[in-house]
Amino acid sequence: MDKSCLVSDTQTVPREEPFVSSYRLGAHELGRGKFAVVRKCVELASGKEYAAKFLRKRRKGEDCRSDIINEIAILEMARFSPYVVDLHEVYETNSEIILVMEYAAGGEIFEQCVADQDEGFTEKDVVRLIRQILQGVLHLHRSNVVHLDLKPQNILLTSNNPLGDIRIVDFGLSRRVDAIKEIREILGTPEYVAPEVLNYEPISTATDMWSIGVLTYIMLTGVSPFLGDTKQETFLNISQVNIQYAQEEFEGISDLAIDFIKCLLMKNPRKRMRADQCLKHPWLSSPNDCEALEETTIEEKEVEAPELSEELVLLASYTVHCPCRQLESRDSIEAELKTVRHQFNALQEIQSEVVC
């Protein structure tokens, strides 16, 4: 991997004394991955709860300390955003680096996304949370950082009841964008990656915007729009933008919400709304009027390409995990799958970074 897209300058000086001299670890794990584990802990001096992410410095025999430093640096860059998880301090041992971060007691929004209708998000909830996600992402993009793994498992809530605010987490795949050099490598999570990732094309901040479109669809309906019965079907659905806005899935959801999603799930990255443009979309621009959303209708329209300055380009990456669902017309796409399957044979399955 080209290390030029990693941020190496950090202000945090890792502490070298034993972690357990300052924190008491709880038995409960908040998340686990192949190279990391997140556990709840309590700071002895203050009694305050935190989430400690233990990251192995060597992975498959390779020194990955620079990747962890990149994650620390991006968390530092985002410290002024209220919607990005706060980094408290860092410890380092011979084998691990420990990130002590803000504890989000509400857990992943994924739980609400797959909950029964009466327990899931209302459209009013989604409007508020998507605005917060966009504000956090806008802060990252203005710092020339792309998250690259925005999904329900990486969006936490400060509380469940009442519904709290969001915290964006897990910057293990995040990269610094470059306005000149094109870097091409595969990283991400299949259901949420943009077409340009699968086509091995240079990607930009617009790639995050595609993921936000998918995220919005899931938060409103509980359905993953591109998920196929196999990885290849998922890839095909994304690359061809095979998406349905079925009436039964969007029953009771406003036309403005559907228009918002359509403005993001555009195959051409230049036609997608930017984060700042999303915040001005009618669906989000009047958050206090959410009760009237169901009565709002708009005409179908084609999104014109926004005026863009030179587009920031970046490296893409890719991780695979998720259950699959049956497509409605599996037989009808099998022939197409055979013709495109060779495009994806080089994509390796990489276990996802742990949610922190």
Instruction: Name all domains of the chain by residue range, CATH numbers in brackets.
Output: 25-102 (3.30.200.20), 107-344 (1.10.510.10)
Task: Report the alpha-carbon distance of residue 180 to residue 16 in Å, rounded.
Answer: 38
Task: Output the pLDDT for position 54.
Answer: 97
Name the catalytic one among 149, 170, 255, 259: 149
Residue range 199-224: mean pLDDT, rounded: 94
Which two structure tokens, joined as six digits, stand for 31? 């998340």
Q: What pLDDT digit, counting tens, does each position of 128-142 carry?
A: 999 999 999 999 999
Active site residue 276: no
Confidence of residue 11 (pLDDT cuts 50, 70, 90): very high
Task: Report the alpha-carbon distance of residue 99 to residue 53 in Å, rounded.
Answer: 5
DSSP per-residue string spanning 85-129: PPEEEEEE-SSEEEEEEE--TTEETHHHHTS-TTTS--HHHHHHH
Residue range 115-132: mean pLDDT, rounded: 88
The phi and psi torsions of 252 (rounded to 5 degrees) equal 80, 0
Top mean pLDDT of 4-18, 263-277, 311-325 is at: 263-277
Which two structure tokens, joined as six digits, stand for 192? 């949420």
- 192-196, 207-211, 319-323: the lowest-pLDDT one: 319-323
* Residue 140: how many other CB atoms lie within 10 Å: 23
Which two structure tokens, joined as six digits, stand for 138? 């806008």
Read off the pTM. Answer: 0.81
Task: Output the pLDDT for position 320.
Answer: 37
Residue range 288-293: mean pLDDT, rounded: 49
Cis amide leading into 162 (omega within 30): yes
The phi and psi torsions of 314 (rounded to 5 degrees) equal -155, 170
Binding site for ATP: residue ranges? Answer: 53
Binding site: residue ranges? Answer: 53
Length, in residues, of the chain: 356
